[in-house]
Structure 1
Amino acid sequence: MDKIKTVIFDLDGTIANTLPLCIQAFRHSIEPLIGKSISDQEIIATFGPSEEGTISALAPDHYEQGVQNYLRNYETLHHICPTPFEGIPEILRDLKNNKVMLALVTGKGALSANISLKLFDLLHFFDVIETGSPDGPRKVEGIQTVLKHTPDTKKDQVIYIGDAPSDILACREVGIPIVAAAWAETAEPDKLRALNPDYMFFEVSDFHQWLELLNAV
């Protein structure tokens, strides 16, 4: 492939192991409002829209309070995930130093994404940040928005790195290469492999080495 000019990152499960944090924040926020317990699978089944969409699905009668509770609990419980994956800051630094455009396209809402990126001290790396919508998945639209910022960059000079099967499908729709990140404990490698991503890595260090071989870092 041509020299990479743009790298687009997912956040949850790619930059950091934030999914357990998200689940706990949802549980702490929603269960007191609806008066019953909710399982991990019930929470995960609502993913696609931003967290506002999850609140709307699981606690529709308490939407405003649920969103407020979630953001408060997400920040308070962030000690569950205090750092990004080892090696991610170095990759971002090296790409930035090599004049590669960095973008973030995540299904998270803008406020929670900002909380994590600030805590990880990664916010300054990204030239473009596209976040989720309560109305449904918008990875395709987010990626397309990033591409509009680099009209002279060919699609095979762009890669997206994400941990979910839906990331692979979004990249196929847009027409850019997809790197499947299978290094989080929450990753599902078999599901990723079944969709034939262009590349797949089980260790951040292997992904970094691959970027070096492409002269991206």
Structure 2
Amino acid sequence: MNTNDTKKIDSILFDLDGTLINTIDLIVASFLHTMDAYYPGKYQREDVISFIGPPLSETFTNLDASRVEEMTHTYRTFNLENHDDLVSEYQGVAETLEVLSQQGYKLAIVTTKRRDTALKGLKLMGLEKYFNVVVSIDEVSNYKPDPEPLNLALQQLDSTAEKAIMVGDSEHDILGGQNTGTKTAGVAWSVKGRAHLASFHPDVMLEEMTDLLDYLGLPK
């Protein structure tokens, strides 16, 4: 429920993949397709789950620094070709964003995706109207958990960390919020599991997105 602490929140920063839109099947399939091309038979679904969160450049550098561009091209080609078929919505997201928008909250996306792909997902799910501010990997030198992308979003929203909460499905989101000085909310539908996300001590754990309205003291 609303407390003195949450009354001052006027800005909400959202991760995109696995938080607002269900891209998990798409991401996993894209990684498995890529891994099968370069490391046949070596990787299964449970193996590539750990790849979710950081930018592709970091994941592929850790695998083979000499083939980052090649693997990234393979991944993105498959990802774009299958995007609309494998992306779906999470229950309660659209309703929550509608209430937040009507109540005058400042909303932003902070993602490690490329901007064009992020906008594609938002448009597919009909959520683009809620976000005038989208900070992608294209606009920053450092990515979550570094505070740079969150601070850029706050700057564009004309807000401050003390008035904001970061909502996300990975440790990069929670640590990013903590490093920036915002409140943090984890989502229990994280592909890495509720317990994993809870171990990073978000201020609140959302069992479904409408719980964010309860946390802020707003009517559903």
Q: Could you state the TM-score of these two structures normalised by the residue count of structure 2?
A: 0.80
Q: Does 1:142 align with 2:143?
A: no
Shift of the 135–34 alpha-carbon distance from structure 1 to 2, 3 Å rule, reads: farther
How many residue pairs get aligned? The number is 213
Q: What are the within-5 Å matches in structure 2 for residues 1-217 of structure 1?
A: 1=5, 2-58=7-63, 60-79=65-84, 81-132=86-137, 137-139=143-145, 140-151=147-158, 153-184=159-190, 186-211=191-216, 213-214=217-218
Higher mean alpha-carbon deviation, 197-206 vs 46-55, is at 46-55
Partner deviation per Cα, 1:85-107 (whole Å, 9 max, x = no partner):
11211222222222221101112
* CA shift for structure 1 position 9: 0.4
* Distance in 2 of aligned mates of 1:135 and 1:144: 12
SS at 1:23's partner residue?
helix
What is the identity, as a one-letter code, of the residue corresponding to 1:164? S
Shift of the 33–136 alpha-carbon distance from structure 1 to 2, 3 Å rule, reads: farther
* CA shift for structure 1 position 147: 1.8
Shift of the 111–62 alpha-carbon distance from structure 1 to 2, 3 Å rule, reads: farther
Specify every segment of 5 or more residues in structure 1 that has no aligned partner in the other structure, as ranges: none
Provide the identity percentage: 26
Q: Could you state the TM-score of these two structures normalised by the residue count of structure 1?
A: 0.81
Q: CA RMSD in A?
A: 2.8
* Distance in 2 of aligned mates of 1:48 and 1:201: 19
Partner deviation per Cα, 1:11-58 (whole Å, 9 max, x = no partner):
122112222310211222342245554233543444453124334444
* Distance in 1 of aligned mates of 2:129 and 2:77: 23
* Distance in 2 of aligned mates of 1:105 and 1:44: 20
* Distance in 2 of aligned mates of 1:40 and 1:136: 28
Contact 1:13-1:187 within 8 A present in 2 as well: no
Higher mean alpha-carbon deviation, 74-83 vs 2-11, is at 74-83
Contact 2:92-2:208 within 8 A present in 1 as well: no
* Distance in 2 of aligned mates of 1:111 and 1:52: 17
What is the identity, as a one-letter code, of the residue corresponding to 2:76? L
Shift of the 92–205 alpha-carbon distance from structure 1 to 2, 3 Å rule, reads: closer
Contact 1:16-1:85 within 8 A present in 2 as well: yes
Contact 1:49-1:132 within 8 A present in 2 as well: no
* CA shift for structure 1 position 116: 1.5
Shift of the 3–192 alpha-carbon distance from structure 1 to 2, 3 Å rule, reads: same
